[in-house]
Structure 1
Amino acid sequence: MSTTDTRVVPAALRTATGREAGRWVAAHCRDVPWLTVATVLTTVAGAALQVLPVLLLGRVVDGVVEGEARSILVTIGALMVAAALLGAAATAVSTYLIGRLGADLLARLREGAVRAVLGMPSARIEQVGRGDVLSRVGDDVAVISKGIRTAIPTVFSAGVLVVIATFGMFGLDWRLGLAGAGALPAYALALRWYLPRSAPLYRKQRAAQADRAQALISGLNGIDTVRAYRLEGAFRDKVTQESWRVRDLGIDVFRFFGRFVGRENRAEFIGLVLILVVGYALLEADAASLG
């Protein structure tokens, strides 16, 4: 004799896809074109100025090897210091502009979230649970806010720096450029491994936080009933269970990200080894200078 599980799984609010989120961000950036253009230009300038001291350092090494005059080395050293200072200033301005652009985006996101919740039928809120609603306008927005302040400026600046550094290596020698580009497939494989697996894990973490909020809210709203029937222990155990689930998922997310960082470090190691091997071969063949 078989039995059928008749437990009702509560519905959840719909989650935007990555494509929908990208379209929303692009539409917002088009609303503030000057701020968007200034952010991109300062980021590119900061990345280019970070690469320039490295190129000048190679010129210093060649100058020492060739026994050039000290005045030339001093001039190049001054240019390196100036490039470093200008690069730091451009990076600081870029970070500020990205933060300002992100703050505007975040304000619109908060307004839209609150407007959507206030316009939602009460029956729909009861169906999905207040915990899911509060998690969307609370925890989710807090995560996005942290990402705008920290992750987005870092990722965007690093991406621009990688592109400029790759072109810079090709400018020095096409063989060095190919050696540096040899790490790109390893980076791509790491992203291909991480992205499809990370989204469900993060989504599961957000759902667990919504369940925890629902457990807290249901107990607080019915506190008189809970006390009347002496259900304090049951509700406390429920909240504790949901909190432990959120903690365990947070640890899983951190471990998973650590594995991704390990794969990224492996890609960086591959690129570094290729550049050193090719550079040594070119140096031995007198096809390139030490600098």
Structure 2
Amino acid sequence: MSATATEDHVDLDRAQHLEARGRSRALLGSLLRPHKARLTLGAALVIVSTAGQVAGPALVAIAIDRALPALVDGDRTPILTIGTLYVLLAIVAGVTYAAYVRTAARISQAVLLDLRRRVFAQTQRLSLEFHERYTSGRVISRQTSDLEALRELLDSGLTGIVSGVLLMLFTGISLFALDWQTGLVLFVAVVPAAMLTRWYQKRSARYYRGTRTTSARLIVSFVETMTGMRAVQAFRREKANEKAYGDLAEEYRQANTRAFLLNGTFDPGLVLIGNVTLTVALLVGGLRVLDGSVEVGVLLAALLYTKRFFGPVHQLGVFYNAFQSASAALEKISGLLAEETTVAPPAHPVPLPSPRGELRFDGVEFAYVPGRPVLPRTDLTIPAGQTVALVGATGAGKSTLAKLVTRFYDVSTGRLTIDGVDVREADPTDLRRAVVMVTQEAYLFSGTVRENILIGRPDASFEDVEAAARAVGAHEFVTAMPDGYDTDVNKRGGRVSAGQRQLLSFARAFLADPAVLVLDEATSSLDIPGERLVQHGLRTLLADRTAIIIAHRLSTVADADRVLVMEHGRVVEDGTPAELIAGDGHYASLHRAWRDSLV
């Protein structure tokens, strides 16, 4: 790579990093903006609490240098007054700090709740294209480990650092006001402490970003392995996956070890600087006490202030760890929230109150990657109520055509209309009600059989649910389950077979009663008896509605009004099943091969 190319690459990385930081700040600002009143209250509480804490050593100095001599002379008023004031300030400091912590906790939990909801809503809003590109493990990492890093910062680190910084500031001012010479000792000691802290910050930023990255990779690997466990065990991938996961776990261990070793240098360094500073302050102050230029109470107060000053410095370093981790997490979350859906909602939605289901492709082209169309120009009309079967080899473009009809993707050029309305302009709620897709996966959510069928129409009665199940032939096996329609199918339908899951997805589609139904390899999970069982239900489901059936099994498309044979994204044959079987085209060859396989 040339020097110019390298510089361009560095500039691009820097620009991307600055963009991510700006995006993160904007996100944080939008999260905190609704809590201005509470933030103001928290600031007032922490200032009062810190002032109460800092006043303690000054009162000690007054008590030693003024009140004790007065007590020796028989005057108890000064010592009682100072003691009472000390107790009152301690109570005020404690109460206001507790109130500050509670206020900060309420703010942090509200912010986290808002952020969790935003992340969840965003991942649901984004189009199918995003989810096919952005792995589920990465999405889960945003919702778990990244939000956990922010929680740790907001719950404990933020309250500590705000009070710590104010304590350092007030302590330094009080020390200079009490004894400027001891203040100079502290000022000199701040220089090496600042240099050590800066050295630590530079390295911790890199190390903790590394721990976040390796942690995300580890989560992605684990989630993908657990999700694909059937394939893992079927293809004996346990050893290979164990090695890959072990390598990632080792990277995570090394990243954490580097961070811990960094702390192992920073923490003792701060302790050393603090102790040396305290020793020098004691030496300088002790000599001045001996020559009478400073009083004993002032020296004691100065030593207390010096000792107290370095506690927050250590806290600042610890906070920076959490801050770096949370910053990296916030950048990733803000990146997710900044993702734009490729299927944008219409600016002026056109309602579809009573859709009939006529579909028209006018000069439609589509490409997943610009410049590489998988669907060349397509002009096609599917009249309302017609059942159309899409046939062709894998990769011919059948599923892509179906995804355009359901508007999981938008056409690259041309128009796709339903009842004359461009699907990009149709009201999204009406479109989802009008067009329903049953996929090969037949996903079931955790919950009961009844709840899974009700997804098709949440306001349906139990009688409607049962009627839908009967229509597709699912009622018998549902009633044979332990609790019938109230049986919990568990995650991914763990208590039902693949074929039964498919029947339940058919019942869901029955209940939805769409104008357009798309079946994408929807009978692939059914065996021959199961497929025969559902044929009657399919006929009932397909009646009086537009249907697009994608299937390799020709028995599934036998009742279609029309067959479209696709190759390389183009429709190469179009006709009724009888017309195409009588010809000598691709469908006729497929039909003969299928018929011979049944002999």
Question: What residue is the counterpart of 1:37 in the other structure?
Answer: 40
Which sits farther off after the overlay, 198-207 or 13-22?
13-22
Cα distance per residue 1:130-153 (max 9 Å; x no partner): 322221221010111022111111
Question: What residue is the counterpart of 2:156 in the other structure?
Answer: 150
Q: CA deviation at 1:15?
A: 10
Conservation of the 8 A alpha-carbon contact between 1:132 and 1:207: no
The aligned amino acid for 1:25 is L
CA distance 1:58–1:277, change in 2 (3 Å): same
- So what's the TM-score if we normalise by structure 2? 0.43
CA separation in 1, counterparts of 2:86 and 2:163? 20
Say whether 1:236 aligns with 2:242.
yes
Conservation of the 8 A alpha-carbon contact between 1:181 and 1:271: no
CA separation in 1, counterparts of 2:34 and 2:187? 36
Conservation of the 8 A alpha-carbon contact between 1:28 and 1:105: yes
Output aligned runs, 1:1-291, within 5 Å.
Answer: 17-18=20-21, 20-63=23-66, 66-68=69-71, 69-291=75-297
Conservation of the 8 A alpha-carbon contact between 1:180 and 1:274: no
Name the SS of the counterpart of 1:288 in structure 2.
coil
Q: Which runs of 5+ in 2 are unaligned?
A: 1-15, 298-599
Q: CA deviation at 1:82?
A: 1.5
CA distance 1:208–1:84, change in 2 (3 Å): same
Question: What residue is the counterpart of 1:6 in the other structure?
Answer: none
Conservation of the 8 A alpha-carbon contact between 1:182 and 1:274: no
How many residue pairs are counted as aligned between the two chains? 279
Question: What residue is the counterpart of 2:361 in the other structure?
Answer: none
Name the SS of the counterpart of 1:183 in structure 2.
helix
CA distance 1:78–1:18, change in 2 (3 Å): farther
CA separation in 1, counterparts of 2:22 and 2:176? 33
Q: CA deviation at 1:228?
A: 1.9
CA distance 1:269–1:98, change in 2 (3 Å): same
CA separation in 2, counterparts of 1:160 and 1:287? 30
The aligned amino acid for 1:181 is F
Higher helix share: 1
Q: Which has the larger radius of gyration?
A: 2
The aligned amino acid for 2:248 is E
CA separation in 2, counterparts of 1:157 and 1:45? 10
CA separation in 2, counterparts of 1:27 and 1:116? 16
CA separation in 2, counterparts of 1:20 and 1:60? 53
Higher strand share: 2
Larger RCO: Structure 1 or Structure 2 (Cα < 8 Å, ≥ 6 residues apart)? 1
Q: CA deviation at 1:88?
A: 0.8
Which sits farther off after the overlay, 281-290 or 150-159?
281-290
CA distance 1:239–1:116, change in 2 (3 Å): same
How many percent of aligned residue pairs carry the same amino acid? 21
Conservation of the 8 A alpha-carbon contact between 2:59 and 2:82: yes
- So what's the TM-score if we normalise by structure 1? 0.85
CA separation in 2, counterparts of 1:79 and 1:267? 33
Q: CA deviation at 1:193?
A: 0.7
Conservation of the 8 A alpha-carbon contact between 2:112 and 2:151: yes
Q: CA deviation at 1:219?
A: 1.8
CA separation in 1, counterparts of 2:252 and 2:208? 11
Conservation of the 8 A alpha-carbon contact between 1:187 and 1:267: yes
Conservation of the 8 A alpha-carbon contact between 1:176 and 1:279: yes
Q: CA deviation at 1:27?
A: 4.7
